[in-house]
Amino acid sequence: MAMSDEAMFAPPQGITIEAVNGMLAERLAQKHGKASLLRAFIPLPPPFSPVQLIELHVLKSNFYYRYHDDGSDVTATVEYQGEMVDYSRHAVLLGSSGMAELRFIRTHGSRFTPQDCTLFNWLARIITPVLQSWLNDEEQQVALRLLEKDRDHHRVLVDITNAVLSHLDLDDLIADVAREIHHFFGLASVSMVLGDHRKNEKFSL
């Protein structure tokens, strides 16, 4: 199986860095989501050799993102193990975010040539800034969701505390607390077990 990770910074013969950057920028601007990064690279323009599948794996994650030449995309927990004639695997360094692997997979036809692997290796270097930006956006979205979850938890505590402080009548208090719990968690019914300080070990529902 063809594999290539050599440093390759000059454009291969027959293609310019401006042409590739322009093509990628146009495709990426039209697409969103996890598969958009891979979708931008199928089909590849000449002189790139045709592939039927591209797979991306960020090493610190448990997910493999795939895009097929038929337009389908898949997120899986194991690497592609289906039919293949050859593949070309390339490491992508992502600075503080770690490392990713990019696999160009051919499921039918001939095997990749050394020139094919050189072209894919060069493309992997071009993709690095885009991939880094994509991963940064993903990390920011995760952090934002955690902050929103913390905010909602604090809001529940504040509203229930306000309900407790604003009532002297126990029945009104229970109704208000139950209403807040229903509002935040969507429960159809709420039951509360209350201790009676006048009767040891006695409870009311």
pLDDT in tens, 37-70: 677 777 777 777 789 999 988 887 788 888 898 8
Q: Provide the whole-model pTM.
A: 0.57
CATH number, position 74 = 3.30.450
**Residues 29, 99: one domain?**
yes
Q: Encode pLDDT of 117-173 as tens digits.
A: 888 888 888 777 777 777 677 667 777 777 777 777 777 777 767 766 666 667 777
Side chain identity, residue 7:
A
Range of the domain at 180: 149-204
**Residues 117, 199: one domain?**
no
The residues with which 53 forms a beta bridge, in sequence order, are 68, 105
**Residues 104, 30: one domain?**
yes
**Residues 36, 113: one domain?**
yes
Predicted confidence (pLDDT) at residue 205 exceeds the cutoff of 80:
no
H helices of the chain, in order, are 17-29, 36-39, 114-165, 170-185
Residues 6+ positions from 200 with CB-CB distance below 8 Å: none
**Residues 162, 183: one domain?**
yes
Cβ–Cβ under 8 Å, residues 120 and 101: no
| Residue positions counted in the chain | 205
Cβ–Cβ under 8 Å, residues 102 and 54: yes
C-alpha dist (Å) from residue 78 to 59, 65, 74, 186, 192: 12, 10, 11, 36, 46
